[in-house]
Structure 1
Amino acid sequence: MKNTFAYTYNKSLKAAMAGLLVIGMSAASCSKFTELAPQNAMPPDITFSDSSNIEVAMNGVYNAAAIGSYEGSYTAGRGYPFGAASIEQGEMRGEDMVNLATFYDVTYRANISPTSANNVNMWVNLYALVNQANTFIEGVRNAAAKGIISAGKAAQLEGEARFLRALAHHEAVINFSRPYADGNGSQVGVPYRDMPVNTPEQIQAAMKVGRGTVAQDYTKILADLDFAEANLPATPKVNAIARAGKGAAIAIKMRVKQHMGDWPGVITEGAKLGTDKAADFSSPVNGYKLLPSPDEAFVKFDNNGESIFSIAHTAATNPGNNAALAYMLGPADIGGRSLVAISPVLYNAEFWVNDDLRRSLLTIKQLSGTTKFVYTYKYRDFVNKSDWAPIIRYAEVLLNAAEAYARTGNNAQAFLLLNAVRNRSLPADSKSRFTVPPADLVLAVLNERRIEFLAEGRRWPDIHRLALDPKYSTGGIPAKVLLSDLKADGSDYNITTRPKVEPSLVSFEYKSFKFLWPLPATEISSNPTLRDAQNPGY
């Protein structure tokens, strides 16, 4: 009898060796990976027998994070798990952007099923990335044992792979599991897979890995990030923003501890990156700092001092328009597809002040057609499709620390950090600048996040972690504006009159099964350990 678990597990988790070198060299001719040893994969004994091959293989792991596969094909990438698809779905699960087409309609309406492409491909590609990372870790450990590379080099490369493994598992948790705040991490988590799955024996071992708890996932995520911090250089020598360094590991640890509600932990990690200063915030690690203009990190997406870690995209490695951020998020009259607009509910919000430079520099209004709405202008390479996907910037480090300080009673430091980000986007003579802390400093920080990280996929993670917050929760999946709620001439977008647009798409309470995505039907049917572990309601 055919081992259906091997088939599915291999298909969903295993672009490993084929991806390591084939993708690393930008060859996008990979077939569906349903065999244990894909014909176009370079065998591990060759890949890890030469130091230069190992470096190329590391590039392949990063590329898997950027493009992934769609329906098993690497020639039709959609930007799973950390490209365009990830960012769009992070926004489409929230309410600050409006879905205008069918591309992510099921995500926007929370009509996900165990067979719908959006969530299935996210799961498939997250675990394909995990398996590439695990295969790479095993390979570099063996290479170091044989003297092919030094122990120090192996530890650095393993640190990069474990960073990506942690990033992938955390993304899985916030989409497929309840937040840490629900029962202090006692809710069911996701399988934390830390072994490669490339042989029948490894598949049998992997079959025994269950979902565990959210707390167990976070323990392992932090362990991977601690290892990465200890072994990664402060300044990556190659592609500094697109390769994980010590600062990236620390910054993601801040994010993870934020999701756990570990505010002292956020403060401790942030201090390593300079958030405990009284002014002129910059990181002792690699010198990260806010850039003078809020658009600079996007204009110079591949070489700037604010981006701590991004996923690189190029014309060569992006196999189609559907994985391109500008194409998917931009307006049609300048080369995009007008698929996703900024919601007028956010655009007209009182807390987004009129003279904020992020309006003029990072949004753009479509002037023609039937969707004359406001769109993001963070991604603008419509020709080469080369915009990098931002994962974490120094602005987030500052705001993460600001929230932590505010929640632990140090309003003075929280106010300094909030103003550093907010005032960067306001003219020097702006009357909108805070001169005294707002009455609700935490709310001010959360509102600032909605503006600063708009169209970067950070809205759903905030909704998820705050779901049970007694004061700042949305209560679940918030109500959303539909295309039919908007006037085609774009008059709903007006910061003078700030018209109220009532969302007609209903909200879903936190307790609704729709708050979580279901595990793919193929995973449930093929994996005996997960057969009875589907999220309730599906």
Structure 2
Amino acid sequence: MKKISHVILLSLSLGLMTSCEKFFERDTYDSISSDNFFKTESDLELYANGFIQKMTPSATTIGYSDYHADYCAINIPTDLLRPDGNVSPGNQGGWTESSWSNLRNINYMLTNMTKLKGKISDDVYRHYEGVGRFWRAWFYYDKVQTFGAVPFYDMVVKSNDEEAMKKPRDSREFVMQKVLEDLTFAAENCLSTDKFRGGGTLINKYVALAVKSRVCLFEGTYRKYHQVDPSTGKIWENAGNNINLFLNEAIEAAEELMNSGAFSLVTGDVTKAYRSLFTSDKLLTSEVIWGRMFSKDLSLFHDLSWVYYSPTYGNKVSLTKSFVNSYLMKDGTAFTNKGNYKTIPFADEFKDRDSRLSQTVISPTYTMTNNGVTALYPPNWLVTRTGYHPIKFSLDNNADNVLSRAASWNSLPIIRYAEVLLNYAEAKAELGQLGQAEWNRSITPLRNRAGVASIYPSVADPYLAAYYQNSISDPILLEVRRERGVELCLEMGLRWGDLMRWHLGDLLSSSVNPWTGMYIPNSNVPMDLNSDGIIDFEIGTTESVKSIVVNSSNANQTFSINGDNNLQWNYQRVWSEYKYLRPIPTEAIIRNGNLTQNYLWESK
């Protein structure tokens, strides 16, 4: 009965989404009489549910949007990082009419739902107002991350409203204050009963609190580590107070959710619990606060298994050795404390490690089922560039050819309770308030879930400090960053956002952070990577499932062996200060002469 009810709920939700999609595709709202719509609570629910389809992150965003971050080696990097990459104000997207249509739809709802005041309960009315304001905050958070300062609109802009259409950019400080106000309203007024949680797919009080903790941590640390606003080159307004404001708001939102008792970490077998969050057919809503459902029964599929396993469909995403080194030993000590850590071969480096490592990438014990036969499955060298092949979002049974088509049915988290714990821990650490008690309620549960002893740090890990360019020396903050990288690896583009807010874009350049791979003891000796007596890797004259070609030129898209005998995938990448924001499109500035360019892009 429970399974049937879930299917019925999802089917009804899809019906609402489809109806609302048709509504959104009608003529512009200027020509629609709201008197024909916002008459009942059902109308309001129908309209609000339309945003689920329109604005909920896609599977690609959830599970594949961090492949340009520092810890991934890929076949070809993004234009923004390539020296020959063509990124300029002249070809920048994200500012067309369609790019702003979701905001128009949101403001249309918030403007016209007032017709229902007094006709439905105050609680329900405020809930849907909170849902609308949540989506507006979500919209603007994305715009600010991309462009910095943008015009803020809280009303529907009519086609004949010349003043509104020619509005200049509002300051980032102003826009993010509005985002904070919208998220606070949503967190205080959205309801949290089962009806409004929708199995983890609807916007509710808990989603608003979780996202508020994410957004406020981002903005507080962004202003802390960027001395000037990248939009203007000017010092932040009232910088110290506003940094503390956002960090404290992050803590308060996280604490409210933590104290609610509504969520907990998925636990159990330490070798399986973590990955189950990303391979389950249903969202594991004890931990997943908001997610996207997929279903084999309803033929709702995504392509993440295909993306991560295909030599041609995806971008050959692999984790780097320098990041893999950050996973702790089970006893809570750093792997890099081992005197021989640089020379431990692939077959041995997973032993006694944080269990999330073998649940994130192919390990020597990883198995795959093909044609009903389950067997050890080593890294495929037509796909991986480093040996550390991600499996976090992929299925292990190819019965439905999930590795070669869009047939994956596992549901995907957008924000988890684990991230809320990390947001709380980092904001506390940034304010110098992460003591033993706070550590024990945030970091310790995450490490225990992974079978790792939790040690409150007293000395900075020199490996981590060096990795982060010695930009921080606080041992507690370094460990929080370690935990964040490991726990949230490859999720929702969060790592890229972390580098942007920490002012660590240099980690995206090849000169600072080359794409290193597994240790090669002897380039002339083939390797058995999973101790099954079969050769899984060798350096040869052709590239195949089990072999690569090494080129000493270090030219783009070639393998080489570095001075530490690590495999290295070569592609030149460069970083510059102006890249922390994208440029305002030239076309937008031509249409609206009151728009200004981000100051470091003015000469580009």
Q: Same fold (TM over 0.5)?
A: yes
Gapped regions of structure 1 (runs ≥ 5): 1-19, 67-81, 178-188, 275-282, 468-472
- The reply to whether residue 130 of structure 1 matches residue 103 of structure 2 is yes
Q: Secondary structure at the match of 1:168?
A: helix
Aligned to 1:376: 390
Q: Percent identity?
A: 21
Contact 1:294–1:424 (Cα < 8 Å) also in 2: yes
Q: Distance in 2 between matches of 1:379 and 1:500?
A: 25
Q: Secondary structure at the match of 2:317?
A: strand
Residue deviations 1:444-484, cap 9 Å, x none? Answer: 111221121111110111111111xxxxx454744365799
Residue deviations 1:273-305, cap 9 Å, x none? Answer: 23xxxxxxxx41533445442123223352421
Aligned to 1:36: 28
Counterpart pick for 1:244 among 185, 203, 220: 203
Distance 1:209 1:227, change over 3 A: farther
Distance 1:155 1:94, change over 3 A: same
Q: Secondary structure at the match of 2:413?
A: strand
Distance 1:463 1:317, change over 3 A: farther
Greater Cα radius of gyration, structure 1 or 2 = 2
Aligned to 1:55: 45
Q: Secondary structure at the match of 2:499?
A: helix
Aligned to 1:277: none
- The reply to whether residue 420 of structure 1 matches residue 436 of structure 2 is no
Greater Cα shift, 53-62 or 375-384: 375-384
Contact 2:214–2:250 (Cα < 8 Å) also in 1: yes
Q: How far 1:246 moved relative to its partner?
A: 1.4
Q: How far 1:341 moved relative to its partner?
A: 1.0
Gapped regions of structure 2 (runs ≥ 5): 1-12, 222-243, 330-349, 363-376, 396-401, 461-474, 520-538, 549-558
Which amino acid counterpart does residue 272 of structure 1 have in structure 2?
Answer: E
Contact 1:83–1:389 (Cα < 8 Å) also in 2: no
Which amino acid counterpart does residue 393 of structure 2 have in structure 1?
Answer: Y
Distance 1:30 1:531, change over 3 A: farther
Q: How far 1:166 moved relative to its partner?
A: 0.7
After superposition, the CA RMSD in angstroms is 4.1
- The reply to whether residue 529 of structure 1 matches residue 594 of structure 2 is yes
Contact 1:270–1:401 (Cα < 8 Å) also in 2: yes
Contact 2:39–2:115 (Cα < 8 Å) also in 1: no
Distance 1:526 1:142, change over 3 A: farther
Aligned length in residues: 456
Q: Secondary structure at the match of 1:308?
A: strand
Aligned to 1:267: 251
Q: Secondary structure at the match of 2:582?
A: coil
Which amino acid counterpart does residue 324 of structure 2 have in structure 1?
Answer: N
Aligned to 2:482: 447
- The reply to whether residue 194 of structure 1 matches residue 208 of structure 2 is no
Q: Secondary structure at the match of 1:237?
A: helix
Residue deviations 1:475-527, cap 9 Å, x none? Answer: 47443657999986588999xx9936476433313x2x223212334433323
Aligned to 2:455: 434
- The reply to whether residue 97 of structure 1 matches residue 77 of structure 2 is no
Q: How far 1:249 moved relative to its partner?
A: 1.6
Counterpart pick for 2:35 among 34, 41, 45: 45
Q: How far 1:361 moved relative to its partner?
A: 2.4
Q: Distance in 1 between matches of 2:180 and 2:359?
A: 36
Q: How far 1:425 moved relative to its partner?
A: 1.4
Aligned to 2:580: 515
Aligned to 2:373: none
Counterpart pick for 1:150 among 112, 115, 121: 121
Aligned to 1:348: 324
Q: Distance in 2 between matches of 1:414 and 1:45?
A: 52
Distance 1:232 1:505, change over 3 A: same
TM-score by length of structure 2 reads 0.65
Distance 1:424 1:139, change over 3 A: same
Aligned to 1:220: 178
Q: Distance in 1 between matches of 2:81 and 2:130?
A: 35
Distance 1:423 1:340, change over 3 A: farther
Counterpart pick for 1:308 among 277, 282, 289: 289
Q: Distance in 1 between matches of 2:582 and 2:598?
A: 13
